[in-house]
Structure 1
Amino acid sequence: MTTDSSLDAVVVGAGPNGLAAAVILARAGLSVEVHEAASTPGGGARTEESTLPGHRHDVCSAVHPMGLASPFFRAFDLAAHGVRMLQPDLAYAHPLDGGRAGLAWRDLGRTAAGLGVDGRAWRGLLGPLAAAWPGVVDLAMSDLRGVPADPLSAIRLARRMLEQGSPLWNLRFRDEIAPAMFTGVCAHAIAPSQAIAPAGAGLLLAALAHGVGWPIPEGGSAAITDALVADLRAHGSRVITGSRIDRLAQLPRARAVLLDLTPAGLLRIAGSELPERYARRLAAFRYGGAACKVDFALRAPVPWANSDCASAGTLHLIGSRADAVVAQRAVAAGLHAERPFVLAVQPGVVDPGRAPAGSHTLWTYAHVPQGSDRDVSAAVIDQIERFAPGFREIVAAHRVRTAMDLQGHDANYVGGDIAAGAVTLRQLIARPVLRFDPYATPLDGVYLCSASTPPGPGVHGMAGLHAARRVLRQRFGITDDPLRLLRQS
Structure 2
Amino acid sequence: MVDVAVVGAGPNGLAAAVVMARAGLSVRLYEAADAVGGGSRTSELIEPGYLYDVCSAVHPMAVASPFFRAFELSQRVDLRVPEVQHGTPLDIGRAALAYQSLDRTVQELGVDGPAYRRLMQPLLERVDGVVEFTSNQLLRIPKDPLAAVRFGLATLDQGTPIWMRRFREEAAPALLTGVMSHALGSQPSLSSTGAGLLLSTLAHAGGWVIPVGGSMSIARAMADDLTAHGGTIHVGERVGSLDQVRPAKAILLDVAPPTLARLGGSEVPDRYRRALEAFRFGNAACKVDFILSGPVPWRDSALAKAGTVHVGGSRRAMAESENLVDMGKHPTEPYVLVSQPSVVDSTRAPEGRHVLWSYCHVPANSKVDMAEAVTARIERYAPGFRDVVVASKTTTAAELSAYNENYVGGDFSAGLLDLRGLVQRPVVSNVPWRTPMEGVYLCSSSTPPGPGVTGMPGYHAARYALKDIFKMRVPGLGVGL
| SS at structure 2 position matched to 1:367 | strand
Q: CA deviation at 1:299?
A: 0.5
1:139-192 deviation line (CA, Å, top 9, x unaligned): 100122321111111110010111111111111111011111111101111111
Confirm or deny that 1:289 pairs with 2:289.
no
Equivalent of residue 243 in structure 1, options 221, 224, 237: 237
The 5-angstrom pairing of residues 207-246 of structure 1 reads 207-246=201-240
Code of the aligned partner of 2:344: V
The residue aligned with 1:25 is: 20
Contact 2:241 2:265 in 1 (8 A): no
Distance, in Å, in 1 between the alignment partners of 2:74 and 2:177 is: 32
The residue aligned with 1:312 is: 306
The 5-angstrom pairing of residues 460-471 of structure 1 reads 460-471=454-465
Contact 1:131 1:211 in 2 (8 A): no
Equivalent of residue 408 in structure 1, options 396, 402, 405: 402
Contact 2:71 2:477 in 1 (8 A): no
Confirm or deny that 1:174 pairs with 2:168.
yes
The 5-angstrom pairing of residues 97-116 of structure 1 reads 97-116=91-110
1:188-243 deviation line (CA, Å, top 9, x unaligned): 11111311111110110000000110010011000000100000000000111001
Q: What is the identity percentage for the equivalent residue pairs of Structure 1 and Structure 2?
A: 52
- Is the alpha carbon distance of 1:194 and 1:271 closer, same or farther for their aligned partners in structure 2, counting shifts above 3 Å? farther
Distance, in Å, in 1 between the alignment partners of 2:8 and 2:238 is: 9
Contact 1:297 1:395 in 2 (8 A): yes
The residue aligned with 1:7 is: 2
Q: CA deviation at 1:488?
A: 5.7
Q: CA deviation at 1:253?
A: 1.6
TM-score normalised per structure 2: 0.98
Equivalent of residue 396 in structure 1, options 390, 397, 401: 390
Contact 1:186 1:201 in 2 (8 A): yes
Between 246-255 and 224-233, the greater mean CA deviation after superposition: 246-255
The 5-angstrom pairing of residues 113-262 of structure 1 reads 113-262=107-256
Contact 2:187 2:323 in 1 (8 A): no
The residue aligned with 2:33 is: 38
Contact 2:23 2:474 in 1 (8 A): no
Give the CA RMSD over aligned residues.
1.1
Contact 1:297 1:397 in 2 (8 A): yes
Q: CA deviation at 1:486?
A: 4.5
1:429-456 deviation line (CA, Å, top 9, x unaligned): 1101112221111111111000000000
The residue aligned with 1:72 is: 67
| SS at structure 2 position matched to 1:313 | strand
Q: CA deviation at 1:270?
A: 2.0
Q: CA deviation at 1:273?
A: 2.6
Ranges in structure 1 where 5+ consecutive residues have no aligned partner:
1-5
Contact 2:140 2:430 in 1 (8 A): no
Between 260-269 and 215-224, the greater mean CA deviation after superposition: 260-269
The residue aligned with 1:3 is: none
The residue aligned with 2:323 is: 329
The residue aligned with 1:54 is: 49
Code of the aligned partner of 2:10: G
Distance, in Å, in 2 between the alignment partners of 1:39 and 1:458 is: 22
Distance, in Å, in 2 between the alignment partners of 1:111 and 1:193 is: 24
- Would you identify which runs of 4 or more consecutive aligned residues in structure 1 move more than 3 Å? 484-488
Equivalent of residue 375 in structure 1, options 369, 372, 378: 369
Q: CA deviation at 1:334?
A: 1.0
| SS at structure 2 position matched to 1:348 | helix
Contact 2:53 2:215 in 1 (8 A): yes
Distance, in Å, in 2 between the alignment partners of 1:114 and 1:45 is: 33
TM-score normalised per structure 1: 0.97
Distance, in Å, in 2 between the alignment partners of 1:396 and 1:487 is: 42
The residue aligned with 1:94 is: 88
Distance, in Å, in 1 between the alignment partners of 2:74 and 2:36 is: 20
Ranges in structure 2 where 5+ consecutive residues have no aligned partner:
none
Code of the aligned partner of 2:53: D
- Is the alpha carbon distance of 1:56 and 1:485 closer, same or farther for their aligned partners in structure 2, counting shifts above 3 Å? closer
Contact 1:52 1:397 in 2 (8 A): no
| SS at structure 2 position matched to 1:278 | helix
